[in-house]
Amino acid sequence: MNINSISTGYGYAEQSKKNDSSKDKTNNGVINSNNKYSGEEERQIGILKDKYSRLAEANKRRQNPRQYIFDKYYNQNSPSYMKGLTEQQRDYGYTTEMRMTFQGTMDYFFGDDALGSEPTIYDDIEQANKKLYNRQEVNNQLKSLFKDNNVIIPDNLKLTFKIDPYTYNLAVSGTEDSNLINTIEQLLNSGDNSKELFLHIIKSRSDDSEQCTQEKLEKYRLNLEIKKYTGYDLKDLKVANGKFTTEEGADIAGVYSEALKYNYSIAAKYKGDILAYYSTQLNSLAKNGFDSIQDLVLSIDYKNGSLYDVGQMYNFGEGKTQWIEKLKEKIV
């Protein structure tokens, strides 16, 4: 079973995944898809950060930090050599101390000796808990939004929120009360509310999602990437000779390449791989046609103060999360 939110397939193009959350920092709506979650993983990351930050500061005060760190992990004749570590712990400790001392960054390895007595982290459980927490937060945000605007939704009425991936326009269905529909649509289409709800649906997906497939997700992200750097929506471009072209006849891949070239927020070493990744997708979509892959139109139900996922096995709606406890019993 895999309930991870997004299998990107990016690898090196992880730099560009910022598209999905670029508005998180400037969100001027009530809905927030990225609520801070503090679970077991975050707690143990804090332990590792604290350990290696302290070690890095101590290393910087030594006459030869590089030699000291090497001796500590690999020189058995050194008085500072650490005994009792596994090969994996030794390699991780050395790499992490070097990176924290000279770069101020680190990766996280939950087999580190500092976590020897800490509980094992089970990724499926941690991801499920994180998604459930975010669902509860978004539910509360919606309740506050409706309450503050005197919106009363009848008990047991199931509404469906449907969101366009290009405009983030949200449409409401499930009732014949046009006044209620108009009021809710006006509220959810204000600020970044509809976009944040759209991103929340993506982050709540499981791998069996019928509406948020990997193929649709990649098309959505490709369009975001191209629009971010060129200002063009792929759906508005012509296809000529197997290429997306502007009204002036320019190949959008070339326009994108030039824009990426002069973007200095991305390290130069990543740009070639990012360009290759998206160029391959552009060529494939142009060859097969923009409509060869369905658009990432997303829906989610709302009933009795809770959102409910549609088209997937694992639901994070209120009263539908018993599967998480069963998962814990099965794994732990």
The closest alpha carbon to 243, from 299, 310, 193, 290, belongs to 290
Residue 92 CB neighbour total at 10 angstroms = 21
The b/e string for 160-174 (b: 16+ C-beta within 10 A; e otherwise) is: bbebebbebebbbeb
What is the pTM (predicted TM-score) of this model? 0.74
pLDDT of residue 124: 80
pLDDT of residue 16: 40
Q: Per-block average pLDDT, block size 10, for the chain (332 residues)?
A: 42 38 55 82 82 92 94 93 88 91 82 61 77 95 96 97 97 98 97 97 94 96 95 94 92 94 87 93 95 97 98 95 84 60
| Phi, psi of 37, deg, nearest 5 | -110, 130
Residue 140 CB neighbour total at 10 angstroms = 12
Residue-level length of the chain: 332
Q: Where are the domains of the chain?
A: 11-30+123-212+296-331, 40-115, 214-292
CA 57 to chain CA centroid, nearest Å? 32
pLDDT of residue 232: 95
108/96 Cα distance (integer angstroms): 9
pLDDT of residue 176: 97
Distances in Å between the Cα of 26 and the Cα atoms of 122, 266, 329 are 33, 20, 40
pLDDT of residue 115: 59
